[in-house]
Amino acid sequence: MGGIIAILVFIISGQSIENVVGMMSGAVTNTPGLGAAKSVLVEFQDKFPDHKFADPAVAYAITYPFGVFGIIMVIMLSKKLLKIDLKKENEEFESEIAAKKHVPVIMKVRVTNHEPVGKTLREIVEMFGKEKVIFSRLKRSGTTMVISPSADTLIEYLDVLMMVGFKEDLDKVLEYLGRESSDQMVEKEQGIHAKTLIVTKNDVVHKTLDELDLYNRYDLKVTRVFRSGMELLAHPSLTLFFGDKIAVVGNKWSIQQAEKMIGNSEKKLLEPDFFSLFGGLILGIIVGSIPLLIPSFPVPIKLGFAAGPLLVALFLSRYGGIGLIHTYINHGAIYFMKDLGISLFFATVGIHAGHNFYENFVKYNGWEWIGYGALITFIPLVMMVIIGRYILKINYFKLVGIMSASYTDPAALSFSNQYLNSDIPTQSYVTVYPMVTITRILIAQLLILILASGYL
């Protein structure tokens, strides 16, 4: 919608497409789009030295401050006009998340059915699926001894088993074996221990639990894996990433051996890994510099220094890194880099926008440019509020995050988190931001490539 309005402004106003793209980038507070447009114009200038092009950064500097305030204004007005009840919105969001939450649970079952008696745990697991249930502990009836059962352990009548899996799967196993148990003895730590180990050795990273084979090596059961705030069921094909926390059950010696193998060094997690950080950035810069040739266009388009590192970061995060490059960063470092980055970014924007701001404002009739920029800022935002609330019925916290992300505006996100006293907008912001950034970079370049051809 922002691109369409920019084209209409170009047709109606008679402004050069360079200035219109600058207005658009400022109105939606998208610096990567401006950088991409300037990059295309530089290549245009080199290819056609007789033609002169305006600098889109001038229009960007004039419309940018009003773009930032515009989205904040819409957030405040929409909350008041729509009469948003923040408490109700938060409760609805929590209910929605709880309904969709899919995490492993622990369940104790006593064998009271006769059909499973005499069968091995391997047979039970194969019956319901290898990746559906994990039996971590077993206590025989009439004893206090708790063991970590093997796949060949035979089930006896009145055994108490502790199992881990997703509730819907465990309910089926429970129905087959007997009834839920309240036995507390099966949880005791005498002879068998539970511990969480941290993956910090490179030899273990990118290996599956099946490849590590901790049970056959050390008689150790892995029940769950904790990664980036998520709780995963430890099925055999699960690949481990650096910084994963794995929940294990076994005897003291087994856990010590596994600890040596996996690392479990909290100190290593606190140390900054500059190789991974700058290695990932360099890969991103290389990807962003790759020219993408489009037939009939005089110059190629590029993802640039914003979308390139963004795409590489998404890829590395999805697959846990490449080789020695991993994506684990502790929360303290993340918050520090994020806040420092935002501060440096806005300081740079302010310095650039403030330089000769008044002279450019007068020379280029800045109020007219602000008016055009306001159309690009407000029309899509108002449409998002109307469609998001009345048609798609999106939770207001999530909608605010989507609005901030669609304008790639960290200032609006920071304001939203404080204004709504919630970090829910951040969740939808990070989901939408990558697609929006890449799209805006491509739109800015395509507008220049298609409409600036009138000068050639």
What backbone phi and psi angles, to 5 degrees, belong to 181?
-110, 150
Half-sphere exposure at residue 6, Cβ-oriented, CA atoms within 13 angstroms: 26
- Please give the single-letter amino acid code of residue 125: V
Q: What is the pLDDT of residue 453?
A: 57
327, part of any domain:
yes
Enter the tokens of residue 302: 């590029």
179 and 313 fall within a common domain: no
Q: What is the pLDDT of residue 456?
A: 43
Query: What angle do the packed helices 167-177 and 121-128 form, to 10 degrees?
Result: 130
With residue 407 as reference, give the H or E element that holds it. none
189, part of any domain:
yes
91, part of any domain:
yes
Q: Which residues, other chains included, contact 216 with Cβ-Cβ below 8 Å and sequence gap of 6+?
A: none
- Please give the single-letter amino acid code of residue 124: I
269, part of any domain:
no
Enter the tokens of residue 124: 């039970």
Q: What is the pLDDT of residue 354?
A: 67
130 and 213 fall within a common domain: yes
307 and 225 fall within a common domain: no
* Residue among 88, 87, 74, 161 at smallest CA distance from 125: 161
* Cα 391 from Cα 394, distance rounded (Å): 8
404 and 375 fall within a common domain: yes
267, part of any domain:
no
156 and 129 fall within a common domain: yes
- List Cα–Cα distances, 223 to 131, 152, 155, 238, in angstroms: 11, 18, 20, 11
268, part of any domain:
no
How does pLDDT run along the chain (456 residues), one tens digit per residue? 999 999 999 999 888 899 999 999 999 988 888 888 888 888 887 877 777 888 888 888 888 888 889 999 999 999 999 999 999 998 888 888 777 777 888 999 999 999 999 999 989 988 988 778 889 899 998 888 888 888 888 999 999 999 999 888 999 999 999 999 988 888 876 678 889 999 988 888 888 998 988 877 887 888 899 987 788 888 888 899 988 999 998 888 888 898 999 988 888 887 777 888 888 889 999 998 898 887 777 778 888 887 888 889 888 888 888 877 888 877 777 777 777 877 777 677 667 666 666 777 777 778 888 899 999 999 999 999 999 999 999 999 999 999 999 998 888 888 998 899 888 898 899 889 889 988 998 899 899 888 875 544
Give me the residues paired with residue 134 across strands.
164
CATH of residue 202's domain is 3.30.70.1450
Last residue of a domain, one of 261, 287, 313: 261
- The overall longest dimension of the chain from CA atoms, in Å, is 95
What backbone phi and psi angles, to 5 degrees, belong to 175?
-60, -35
Last residue of a domain, one of 261, 283, 307: 261
Q: How far out from the chain centre does Cα 247 lie?
A: 24
416, part of any domain:
yes
336 and 410 fall within a common domain: yes
343 and 203 fall within a common domain: no
- DSSP helix/strand/coil, 68: helix
Last residue of a domain, one of 261, 284, 304: 261
Q: What is the pLDDT of residue 189?
A: 67
118 and 174 fall within a common domain: yes
* Cα 356 from Cα 348, distance rounded (Å): 15
Beta strands in 12-93 (DSSP E): none
DSSP secondary structure of 261-301: HHB--HHHHHS--HHHHHHHHHHHHHHHT--B--TT-SS-B
59, part of any domain:
yes
Domain of 233, in residue numbers: 105-261
pTM > 0.75: yes or no: no
Q: What is the pLDDT of residue 8?
A: 94
Domains held by the chain: number:
2
325 and 426 fall within a common domain: yes
49 and 184 fall within a common domain: no
285 and 252 fall within a common domain: no
76 and 191 fall within a common domain: no
